[in-house]
Every structure is written in structure tokens, then in C-alpha cells.
Amino acid sequence: MKLPARFAPVLFGALLSAIMVALVSAFVLLSNRGLEPGFLALWLRNCATTWPVAFVAVTLVAPVVRRVVGRLTVPA
């Protein structure tokens, strides 16, 4: 199943934020608590609670960042 192209920015934000939340939360948990019993459940709970914040942030900030990058670079 493919989504219409008009949903690309939302899909991009969803995937990027999910990947970043998963990686960063795993790193922070491992750094602070180590690989302890219940790590997976705690990691999944942290991902579920922080992903909505990251998704909104990425979705709102990405267009601004693209414009800034466009102003700071020259075409090839």
C-alpha cells in the first residue's frame, strides 16, 4: 500500500521522529541505568510517551530547517 505524495511530509516526520526517539531513548537508558531487567518494557514506554512530542517538533521544524539550509548552501 502506498500513500499519496501529499502525505510525504507527514510520513517523513513520523518515520524520522520514531527512529530518532528509539535510538536516543535507548542510548540514554543504557547510559543511565544499564541493561537491567525490564529494560525493553521501560524503553518501549519511554518511546511511546516521547514520540508524539518528537513527531510534532519534527513536523513543525522541518520546513524551517529546509529553508535555512537552502539559504546556507549553493546549488551544485
Query: What pLDDT sits at residue 43?
Result: 97
Q: What is the pLDDT along the chain (76 residues), one digit of tens a residue?
A: 899 999 999 999 999 999 999 999 999 999 999 999 999 999 999 999 999 999 999 999 999 999 999 999 998 8
Q: Is the pTM of this model over 0.85?
A: no
Evaluated on CA atoms 9, 53, 17, 69, the torsion sign reads positive
Neighbours of 13 (CB within 10 A): 19
pLDDT at 76: 83
Cell of 13: 516526520
Cα separation, 12 vs 43, whole angstroms: 23
The span from the CA of 50 to the CA of 59, in Å, is: 14
Of the candidates 17, 21, 14, the residue with the CA atom closest to the CA atom of residue 47? 21
